[in-house]
Amino acid sequence: MLDFTLTPEQVALQQRAREFALAEVLPIAWYYDEANDMPLAVLRKAYDAGIMNLDIPKAYGGQGLGLVEAAILTEELAAACPGLATSIFDNSLGMEPLLLSKNEDARKRYLPQILNDYKKICFATSEPTMGSDVAGMRCRATEDGDDYILNGTKYWITNGGVADYASVFATVDPKKQHDGICAFLVETDWPGVRVGRPIPKMGQRCSNTVALKFEDVRVPKANILAPPGKGFVLAMKTFGRTRPIIGAFGVGAARSAMEFSLDYAQKRKAFGMPISGFQAIQFKIAEMYQKVETARLLTLKAAWEADQNIDPTLDASIAKLYGTEVALEVVNEALQIFGGYGYTKMFPVEKLLRDVRLLRIYEGTSEVQRVIIAGYVMSQYQPVMPPLEDLPLHREADPLADGGTGTAWRCRICGHVHYGDDAPEECPYCFFPQSAFKKVS
Ligand SMILES: Cc1cc2nc3c(=O)[nH]c(=O)nc-3n(C[C@H](O)[C@H](O)[C@H](O)COP(=O)(O)OP(=O)(O)OC[C@H]3O[C@@H](n4cnc5c(N)ncnc54)[C@H](O)[C@@H]3O)c2cc1C
């Protein structure tokens, strides 16, 4: 059964998120972007409005909503400000390793605090010298009695400057690569945790991005989210569930760019008529709309798979790749429709362009998504079509004629089909010998 309609509850959530985005996020987005500051008060309002931490399971007192709901909500927030949406969503990213881990005791201790006490949790895999190559991390975890001691630096950590907790990935031995990776829940006020200065960024300036340094930070074994050797898989499973939401960021931002373009094109006049009258502009808007719709479908499909406990890894990569790449294309075309004004800070598209540029980088770059998709297609995908060398491709004899085509041989090199009991001694087209021919009928 295939059903593309949202449930009444999902429509209500969409409406609630939309109202919040329009009333609380949109009016402050440009000011805080200009100030290069994170509007913590709005983060708090999002928490109070129940649009943060949607994914905390009911067993721990949460709403227990799925990724489809997260995608619906995130589209609305990102439509108003991708940067602030990143910070609001970051709790779900930071929490995902805890939700996926086998450490039920840690879930019982931390999830109620995140839910009830407005505790913020960030996600820390990347380092100054490593982002895509997760197995190449250097942050060291050394076993010491009932604890592990953490030493190293995590870089690019969204909300790192405001979070109470961090899901930190580390290695017991960098030489072990994947087999050495482990993960811990670290409280950021523990001795030895230091927070770097906010990193000055091109866009998403309403979100906080810092380094976290760990100097002999003692982490009790009770806070292990993944023991050594299991951390890499935990990180990848986390991305499988968070990448669809990055696709939703793209959908929201692209949708706004399309809507702003439509409005502008209907009002701006050139050559005596609104520019929306020119087919060149209409086609741009048509493409924008088509890309928003397609990206949303891919995003919801990946989110739905995750909610159905179907491994979402592949479709999460497709949703992330497509949603974020088309977001950049759509916003860029929007800027073109705005002409010179698009290039100014007095109109909204310039900020959107800076904000969406990040989407192709974090949570796995576009190149990394292509590596994942290529890996699947090259090694696991099962083609429906026969191999080329088995393809009859009759052009000179009619397969529907009485008696069919008789015996046919196909040259594996140039594709020539020869009819007769035996293959020819050589191919008349490419001159390859008889051995190049394969019987196809
Ligand atoms: C604003 C911001 C917020 C972020 N938030 C977080 C966060 O909260 N937590 C966190 O852990 N990280 C976070 N990140 C880090 C982010 O996930 C990384 O920047 C990203 O994964 C890329 O890693 P890198 O920057 O080290 O680039 P690199 O891995 O050094 O890659 C550099 C270039 O090489 C390409 N490349 C690398 N490997 C391959 C390959 N095998 N094939 C083809 N091309 C390849 C990349 O695609 C890229 O174009 C954030 C980053 C930014 C900028």
216-238, pLDDT tens digit by residue?
999 999 999 999 999 999 999 99
Residue keyed to tokens 């005596």: 272
Residue 114 half-sphere exposure, CB side, CA atoms within 13 Å?
Answer: 35
Query: Residue 86: CB within 6 Å of ligand 1?
Result: no
Ligand 1 centroid from CA 151, angstroms: 21
pLDDT interval class at 392 (50, 70, 90): confident
pLDDT value at position 403?
86
pLDDT value at position 95?
98
> How far is it, in rounded angstroms, from Cα 350 to Cα 357?
11
Task: Supply the Cα-derived Rg of the chain in whole angstroms.
Answer: 27
> How far is it, in rounded angstroms, from Cα 317 to Cα 260?
28
For 83-115, write each residue's pLDDT tens digit: 999 999 999 999 999 999 999 999 999 999 999
What's the rounded mean pLDDT across residues 324-342? 98
What are the φ and ψ backbone dihedral angles of 5, each rounded to 5 degrees?
Answer: -85, 145
Query: Residue 34: CB within 6 Å of ligand 1?
Result: no
For 331, the token pair is 């916003």
Ligand 1 centroid from CA 158, angstroms: 13
Q: Which residues contact 386 (CB under 8 A, 6 or more apart)?
A: none
Query: Residue 131: CB within 6 Å of ligand 1?
Result: yes
For 1-53, write each residue's pLDDT tens digit: 889 999 999 999 999 999 999 999 999 999 999 999 999 999 999 999 999 99
pLDDT value at position 1?
80
pTM: 0.96
Residue 361 has pLDDT above 90, yes or no: yes
Query: Residue 125: CB within 6 Å of ligand 1?
Result: yes
Query: Residue 110: CB within 6 Å of ligand 1?
Result: no
pLDDT interval class at 425 (50, 70, 90): very high
List the residue whose alpha carbon is closest to atom 44 of ligand 1. 367
CA distance from start to end of the chain: 39
Ligand 1 centroid from CA 156, angstroms: 9
CA dihedral of residues 348, 353, 359, 365 (deg, nearest 10): 180
Q: Which residues contact 242 (CB under 8 A, 6 or more apart)?
A: 92, 93, 96, 316, 363
Q: Which residues are catalytic?
A: 363
For 425, the token pair is 């001694």
- In the chain, the percentage of residues whose pLDDT exceeds 70 is 100
> How far is it, in rounded angstroms, from Cα 34 to Cα 45?
21
Ligand 1 centroid from CA 133, angstroms: 8
CA dihedral of residues 355, 361, 367, 372 (deg, nearest 10): -110
One-letter amino acid identity for 148? Answer: Y
Question: Over the chain, what is the mean pLDDT?
Answer: 97
Query: Residue 367: CB within 6 Å of ligand 1?
Result: yes
For 227-267, write each residue's pLDDT tens digit: 999 999 999 999 999 999 999 999 999 999 999 999 999 99
Ligand 1 centroid from CA 363, angstroms: 7
201 Cα nearest atom in ligand 1:
1
List the residue whose alpha carbon is closest to atom 40 of ligand 1. 368
